[in-house]
Amino acid sequence: MNSSVRVRFAPSPTGPLHIGGVRTALYNYLFAKKNNGTFILRIEDTDQTRYVPNAEKYIIDSLNWCKIPFDEGPEKNEKFGPYRQSERKEIYKKYAEILLENGWAYYAFDTAESLDFLRKEHEENGKTFIYNWHNRSKGKLVNSLILTEDEIQKRIQNGDDYVIRFKSPQDEILEMEDEIRGKISIDTNTLDDKVLFKSDGMPTYHLANIVDDHLMEITHVIRGEEWLPSMALHILLYRAFDWKAPKFAHLPLILKPVGKGKLSKRDGDQLGFPVFPLAYKNEETGDISRGYKEDGYFEDGFINMLALLGWNPGTEQEIFSLSELIQAFDLKRVSKSGAKFNPDKTKWFNQQYMQQKSVVELANLYEPILKEKGIETEKNTIEKVITLIKERAIFVADFWELSNFFFQAPTTFDEKAVAKNWKEDTNKLMEQLLIVISTIDDFSSQNTEIIIKDWITKNEIGFGKVMQPLRLSLVGEMKGPHLFDIMEIIGKPATIKRIETAINKF
């Protein structure tokens, strides 16, 4: 495929960006980069009643955090700008008029009340009301197909509310091709005449979407399967304008972890995981929704997880860098069926990426947490600690629970562990151990282990009778990495002091 590939991510700024939307953006980005193409962000804000002022910034911040920034979009390389639909109203009006002129659209002056009456009337007769070829010219509906030109102009001049509807063709089987789902056939008799333009000067999604995709030279429309029912109308609109249609690919839904249906914010709230990339504050209610970034997920692990939620590389490989995803991505390997979201698998990805991070990078992330707790220590010490504990961590926030005893002496001791491991002769053994420790000059883990184990062996003491109380003295619990590594990092004076504290306590 050549460098002319152009794809777009076109969210509505009506609130925070759901991870389903992030995945759509990601697949568009991967496809564009795989084919040396262009990834475009377009803000589809024609529905001003649902517009949320801070949503556009949130969308852009989310894409940037995910490291999938757009090439063209609002205030960036505006080759075919503007990239907000609310700023393109005059463009849509022009194209709506073209459809009127060539007979592919018509004015409809029906009131909401009259349409409601017709719907109820049909329901009472066990039927479904569809505004299309079946009834648009029979006289019950008021539109330009039955009105004279004078009547039409008079209504418009009088300020009567109207919409412009698409005139769907009759008695045709429309053959379409989807890059993921293959061939699709639609009987045009089942289509309704969708509204394309309203008298308030705003287009509907359908008209604005098609016009923008054409003018912005979009070659592939990669979007969620909720838009699959609109595909026939969009293909017909391209035909009405005598434009070449882009290729379409409709992505599967991201499904709930349990039960059926699309993943929602409520599922995340109930099961304890975020469904948004970044935390989001509702300006009206003050409610804050959790985000993957703020919950401690690495952006590369998050993206890796999302990429495999509906796409299969065809191999056993699960861990992909962004550049590897770009090379491997293929629309033909995107599933037709929904992908069930797995919160535990998401944590697993984060843990895998934790192991890939350098100790220097992780130390930089852990240092602010330590400073918040009033702990100032050498960066080198933090790096040594992380080397010992990171395999047991899922998030950087787990580091404190796994390593707090490196930075502060225990103030409480596990009662069950004390009852099990601190016997009548333990204080005497610990006092003897202190004498051994005081003679050690090279306090490296390896040397200290050799000396203490030699002492235990020569004196025919059971290892558990010394090692378990020693761990309790240093950690406060029966947890932590290799005991002699702990001793090396906290140092000889702190080791002696902690043992003395335990002896005095028990």
Q: pLDDT by residue (tens digit) across 428-459?
A: 999 999 999 999 999 999 999 999 999 999 99
**pLDDT of amino acid 191:** 97
User: Hey, how many other C-beta atoms are within 10 angstroms of the C-beta on 448?
Assistant: 21
User: What angle do helix axes 483-490 and 399-407 make, rounded to 10 degrees?
Assistant: 60
Mean pLDDT score, 295-321: 97
Beta carbons within 8 Å of 25's beta carbon, 6+ residues apart:
9, 11, 63, 66, 68
Q: How far apart are CA 56 and CA 70, in angstroms?
A: 13
Residue 464 has pLDDT above 70, yes or no: yes
Mean pLDDT score, 253-257: 96
Pairing of strands 247-251, 220-224: parallel
Give alpha helix (H) positions in 342-398: 343-356, 359-372, 379-389
**pLDDT of amino acid 285:** 83
Q: How far apart are CA 340 and CA 267, in angstroms?
A: 12
| Closest of 331, 471, 339, 333 to residue 413, by C-alpha | 471
Question: Is 265 among the catalytic positions?
Answer: yes
Name the residue with tokens 């002496």.
409
**pLDDT of amino acid 1:** 47
Mean pLDDT score, 262-281: 94
Q: How confident is the model at residue 88 (pLDDT cuts 50, 70, 90)?
A: very high
Name the residue with tokens 């564009």.
32
**pLDDT of amino acid 286:** 85
Residue 259 has pLDDT above 90, yes or no: no
Residue 223 has pLDDT above 50, yes or no: yes
Residue 47 has pLDDT above 90, yes or no: no
State the catalytic residue, choosing from 93, 198, 247, 265: 265
Residue 199 has pLDDT above 90, yes or no: no
Name residue 140's beta-bridge partners.
none
Mean pLDDT score, 121-135: 94
Three-state DSSP class for residue 198: strand
Name residue 9's beta-bridge partners.
41
Residues, the chain, total?
506
Of the two residues 206 and 46, the one the predictor is more confident about is 206
Q: How far apart are CA 275 and CA 287, in angstroms?
A: 15
Residue 2 has pLDDT above 90, yes or no: no
**pLDDT of amino acid 48:** 78
DSSP state at residue 182: E
Residue 3 has pLDDT above 60, yes or no: no
